[in-house]
Structure 1
Amino acid sequence: MDAIETVLAMLLAVVGSAYLVRLLPVAVPLPLMQIALGFVVAAFSRHGIALDPEFFFLLFLPPLLFLDGWRIPKSGLLRDRGVILQLALGLVVFTVLGMGLLIHWMIPAMPLPVAFALAAIISPTDPVAVSAIASRTPIPKRLMHILEGESLLNDASGLVCFRFAVAAALTGTFSLTSATLTFVWLVAGGIGMGVGVTLLIALAQRWLTRHFGEPSGSPILVNLLMPFGAYLLAEHLNASGILAAVAAGVTMSYVELGGHALAATRIQRSAVWDTVQFSLNGVMFVLLGEQLPSILKGARASLEAVGHVNPWWLVLYAFAITLGLMVLRFAWVWTALKLTLFRKSRMGHDAAPPHWRLLLATSLAGARGAITLAGVMTLPLFMPGGQPFPARDLTIFLASAVILLSLLAASIGLPRILSGVDFPEDSEESQEEDRAREVAANAAIAAIERAQIELMSTSVDADLYPQAASRVIALYRHRLVEHTEVEQARQFRKLDMAEKALRMAALHAERKAIFNLARHDHISDETARKLVREIDLSETRFR
């Protein structure tokens, strides 16, 4: 199996993994299934994939970080900013220092800068992995928002620390003053480049669309290239491309609120980005499984060089590092919670402590994943003098083992910890949705009344518009009545659910009839595609 066939097999493994996890009777995280399939691909591959660290980093990280920044709930990020910053910045530094010293103490053969590099790259958490587990284990929305916000910021902070540690390993020197100044420029420059590139591209797209129209597919392609442009420009100016990609994604979420993109573009763009996210995450984990045999072989060679012939030392190191991460995370979360409650009590606020299971779940939910894997794969192959980078294979193996063990711990532990816990619904979120629907319905009714008057003055069939307007307004009146009183609202919600079920049955019958007409050549393929698309959009709305 040559390189191209191996890549195609890996993509097929990504597709197959999504079906296999649904067939298994037990809950297996999707990343673990993809790693296992990657290992199978390696068994049938003669040459494997030769990784270029810089190319790997550029291909995978910018779009994933951009998408994280774009889709992160901004209201939750701002509401829980204190907790998120404590986890994303304070916990990362705490983890790098604590785990770096622990790793160097356990493995003296690993130089201290390399130990810090390993600690830095295993500090970021992965919300995609936790979301895969949460699909079968209900996790409170607010906790998920905190975990997503933490991962968005600790990706950047962990990777910046990793960059400093690798630089120290390559040069053998570390200056706190120089590192501080460099850090300030990395952060400021990276964020500035990400915001600037996104705004500039958005303004250029808006001007071109206003004067020349919007070519089909062009805005989506520009959107896909945006994170790479922000990343490369920032790196060219020696700023942080990582932060540039994150900042570009966050800025894009605010640009999108302008509502300038066409509805069809938004629908197609969302589908394209879902595919990109699924593919890149999946390929990375399959790639990890494909690389595991060679990584394990190199790790054993690194240990044998210092006299540890028994391969079980690798297992011991992996478990010790994973357990150390969990202990440090629990200690930080518990201490931060105690300080927060103490500060609120001093201010006169009565704050009830969260359920102890929720505290333990927050500690266990710090599963590692795609960012850790992408980052550790970028370790240099050689030192400036030409000698191999010290303990590179061992570092990659330990980071990979931490990913596996943290995913296993979360997939096994979270369902048991949260089983039977009754978490209250977020009433504020439902009230917010109700208010938004009410405002939108009132705006729609006003627009229909204005449009009716305008169309009646210019159309020869003016008598049709009052009847049409009353039918459309009736739909929006239903929404307004729905939120008048609590009991009425509950009754209308039940009515909506019943209506949804009937509409779904009707849409399925419509689609089946259209396909049947097309199969028997009663309508053209073009007409069939147009009508099926309308039905699909309606079904998407009701789902």
Structure 2
Amino acid sequence: MEPMQLFELVIAMLLAIIALQYVATKLGVPPAAALLIGGGLLAFLPGLPVISLDPALVLVIFLPPLLMDGAWFIALGHLKRHMIGILSLAVGAVIFTTVVVAAVTHALLPDLPWAACAALGAIVSPPDAVSARAALANVPLPARLSILLEGESLLNDATGLVLFRFAVAAAVTGSFSAVDALGSFLFLAIGGALVGAAIGAVWVFLVRRLGDEYLMIAAAVIVPWISYLLGEQIHVSGVIAAVVTGLVCGWYQHVVFSAAVRMRGTSFWTVLIFLLEGSVFMLIGSSLRGVVERVGGFEIVLQEMAGPILLILLALTLARFAWVYGSEAVIVLLRALGWKRYKPVGARGAAVLSWTGMRGVVTLAVALSVPADMPGRDFMLVCAFAVILATVIIQGMSLGAVIRWAELREPDGVGPRVSMSQAEAVMAQAQVEIVERRAYNEAGELVHPQLLKRYRAKAEISADYAGQEDQYADRIQAHFDLVLEAIAAGRAELLRLHRAGDIDERTLQELERDLDLEELSAISAKAS
């Protein structure tokens, strides 16, 4: 493909992402499913080239920033508190699913070596971070379930990649050692964590000294790739390295970024992640044509592969249910024996956890990296694509309904000790105290009367509002509706002055920025 054709194809894909995202929003379906289906349909349009993905390039382009994004915004305190549950899903469930899929595959295809069956299990076992984020973007979940799924999606790829590596090595050498596999996994994980922590520390040190806000944002954008590539270069887990770097940077960004850097950086990063996530699903869908052509067409897929793939997909789904409900039973048993540290999520919560097993870019990229001479490679590739398609479309599109059916509620005593309105009151009190001390000069004269009046009023209103949100809800909504109407009126008048030539472009931009900040503040206050 010519470079110009490649560029035109990229632009066309980005336009398709925007269009499909819009359609998905209007129809109320998960964008991931719409993008995947849209990419699959576009793949068979006459005249379009067959999309051939380089698995290593796909992973290095998409995985680090998407992992960084998840780690950057995750609640670190909740992550530590629920680490046992997260590791149960990210390590235990992946290993268990790999074993189940390997056993079922070998039973269905006895001629396929055990190592190849294990490789297929490792390919399809880890749920995908991107798919999980996309499916959960617009569905409310209790904090515990959210952190379990977010934490799992950050760490399980490392487990799947290590299992796949050992399965391929076993297929090539004909030998396998569980002790060596465990030792290698620990080395890769610990090494990746150390690399990630080191890169995060260097990032914090440098960002404190850069000064220029655009350089700070640029440093935040490239750091996940640096961490991932360095981890892979020294043969430890690049996935873990990127995640730990994201955790470190996310923890310190509140003190090293100014408000302007945080607002501009977050806006840029949000758009970047949106395009990367959309591109992932579009590329997965677009690769369907190449996968089908490689195995000889849809007829071969339907006649020879559809039956085993459906049974493997069923085994894959049931394995997650078995692990989640089995873990739930263990917790109930431990509590019955007197160990009360861990609480069960409940039968309905376990059903939601079990149903969030969408696969995505990692599954496809790992399937594409299977050596060409490995037995069953074509079947693995078709199976991987079918698993992605089925889980994203079926589970992704029905997840909202499952969550509504479950009617999950935050358990009593779970959640932040201080509500948002109470936190606002505490913050307002701290502000008024500093203003009261500085509002008078050394002679005791009041030099900032309006500022003192403003902050005292804010502190009084916040204290009165704290804990009585329901009582003031209608008045608050009406208040900020009026504020937004006033901002709109001011913006219209500002544009009239500019269009009439009464103010120049610089004045327009400065005053419009003030209105934008005021509008964002009002929208945020109204939503909270």
Shared fold (TM-score greater than 0.5)? yes
Match of 1:371 in 2: 362
Match of 1:104 in 2: 106
For residue 15 of structure 2, the aligned residue among 8, 12, 29 is 12
1:69 maps to 2:55: no
For residue 247 of structure 1, the aligned residue among 224, 244, 247 is 244
Q: Distance in 2 between matches of 1:317 and 1:132?
A: 28
Find the residue that maps to 1:174 and give its secondary structure. Answer: coil
- Give yes or no for contact 2:25–2:31 (8 Å, CA) kept in 1: no
Q: Distance in 1 between matches of 2:493 and 2:417?
A: 40
1:22 maps to 2:37: no
1:3 maps to 2:6: yes
Q: Distance in 1 between matches of 2:137 and 2:245?
A: 28
Q: Distance in 1 between matches of 2:283 and 2:350?
A: 34
Q: Distance in 2 between matches of 1:39 and 1:129?
A: 16
Write the letter of the residue equivalent to 2:38. L
Q: Distance in 2 between matches of 1:293 and 1:119?
A: 23
Aligned-residue identity in percent: 31
For residues 127-182 of structure 1, give each alpha carbon's deviation from its aligned partner in whole angstroms, at most 9, with x where no partner exists: 55345444565433432222112212212222222233234345544333433332
The aligned runs of 1:488-527 (5 Å cut-off) are: 488-527=468-507
Write the letter of the residue equivalent to 1:401. A
- Give yes or no for contact 2:36–2:285 (8 Å, CA) kept in 1: yes
Q: C-alpha displacement at 1:327, in angstroms?
A: 0.7
For residues 314-338 of structure 1, give each alpha carbon's deviation from its aligned partner in whole angstroms, at most 9, with x where no partner exists: 3323322221111111111111111
- Give yes or no for contact 2:132–2:153 (8 Å, CA) kept in 1: no
Normalised by the size of structure 2, how large is the TM-score? Answer: 0.89
Q: C-alpha displacement at 1:65, in angstroms?
A: 1.4
Taking a change above 3 Å as real, the CA distance of residues 93 and 512 of structure 1, as seen in their structure-2 partners, is same
1:286 maps to 2:282: yes
Write the letter of the residue equivalent to 2:496. N
Write the letter of the residue equivalent to 1:345. A
Taking a change above 3 Å as real, the CA distance of residues 408 and 38 of structure 1, as seen in their structure-2 partners, is closer
Q: Distance in 1 between matches of 2:92 and 2:199?
A: 29
Q: Distance in 1 between matches of 2:280 and 2:111?
A: 28
Match of 2:451 in 1: 468
For residues 251-307 of structure 1, give each alpha carbon's deviation from its aligned partner in whole angstroms, at most 9, with x where no partner exists: 1122224x1211111111111221222111111111111110110122347x99xxx
Stretch deviating more after TM superposition (313-322 or 241-250): 313-322
Taking a change above 3 Å as real, the CA distance of residues 178 and 81 of structure 1, as seen in their structure-2 partners, is closer
Q: Distance in 1 between matches of 2:163 and 2:217?
A: 33
- Give yes or no for contact 1:117–1:165 (8 Å, CA) kept in 2: yes
For residues 236-259 of structure 1, give each alpha carbon's deviation from its aligned partner in whole angstroms, at most 9, with x where no partner exists: 2111111111111111122224x1
For residue 432 of structure 1, the aligned residue among 418, 429, 434 is 418
For residue 260 of structure 1, the aligned residue among 248, 256, 260 is 256
Q: C-alpha displacement at 1:436, in angstroms?
A: 2.8
- Give yes or no for contact 2:65–2:224 (8 Å, CA) kept in 1: yes
Normalised by the size of structure 1, how large is the TM-score? Answer: 0.86
Q: Distance in 1 between matches of 2:371 and 2:135?
A: 34
Q: Distance in 1 between matches of 2:245 and 2:259?
A: 22
1:452 maps to 2:439: yes
Match of 1:113 in 2: 115
- Give yes or no for contact 2:324–2:350 (8 Å, CA) kept in 1: yes
Q: Distance in 1 between matches of 2:55 and 2:258?
A: 38
Match of 1:223 in 2: 220
For residue 362 of structure 1, the aligned residue among 353, 372, 387 is 353
For residues 440-487 of structure 1, give each alpha carbon's deviation from its aligned partner in whole angstroms, at most 9, with x where no partner exists: 22221122223323xx4599xx7551232212331132112222xx5x
1:81 maps to 2:61: no
Q: Distance in 2 between matches of 1:367 and 1:413?
A: 11
Consecutive unaligned residues in structure 2, runs of 5 or more: none
The aligned runs of 1:66-215 (5 Å cut-off) are: 66-108=68-110, 110-126=112-128, 128-134=130-136, 137-206=139-208, 208-209=209-210, 214-215=211-212
Taking a change above 3 Å as real, the CA distance of residues 187 and 30 of structure 1, as seen in their structure-2 partners, is same
How well do the aligned residues superpose, as a CA RMSD in angstroms?
2.9
State how many pairs are aligned.
Answer: 517
For residues 189-239 of structure 1, give each alpha carbon's deviation from its aligned partner in whole angstroms, at most 9, with x where no partner exists: 111001001101211221x24xxxx22411111111111111121222111
1:399 maps to 2:384: yes
Q: Distance in 2 between matches of 1:287 and 1:159?
A: 21
